[in-house]
Amino acid sequence: MSAHFIWDTLYMWYKGFLDFGNFLHHFMGSISYISGVYYQHNLYLNMIHILAGDATNASMHLRELLRRFGMRYTWAFYLNEYYYCGAYMICRGLLIPFIFTFYWACDSTGPFFMILYPPHVL
């Protein structure tokens, strides 16, 4: 997953649409996943999180692509937007905070997870 974040950051920088919010999101994601591998803890929770987080990634990217191709005021954009908002509220508003409670309960959770993980996913 960290390789995806690093590659995506480099691609966005190369194409000229890397903003600070995306850079910060990718940086925090990379550090938290790398720290999980380094400390050898909470890797199964990362996999559960990726499942909930990836449910919104495709529509989030499609949203940006439709904007860039000039299809902002089309039915495709609006249908994607409704799906994106619904999936975001369910996955990132309910499932990911629920998953995070397991991080808090685990005594072996590394410090990077406790500091960087919550703002990264929300």
Residue 120 near residue 35 (C-beta atoms within 8 A): no
Nearest to 104 by CA among 94, 114, 96: 114
Chain mean position to CA 16 = 20
Tens of pLDDT, residues 59-110: 888 888 898 899 989 999 999 999 989 988 888 788 877 877 877 777 777 6
Domain extent listing, the chain: 2-121
Residue 121 near residue 26 (C-beta atoms within 8 A): no
Rounded Cα distance between 70 and 68, Å, is 5
Considering the entire predicted model, what is its pTM? Answer: 0.64
Greater model confidence, 30 or 72 = 72
- Residue 49 host element (H or E): helix 43-68
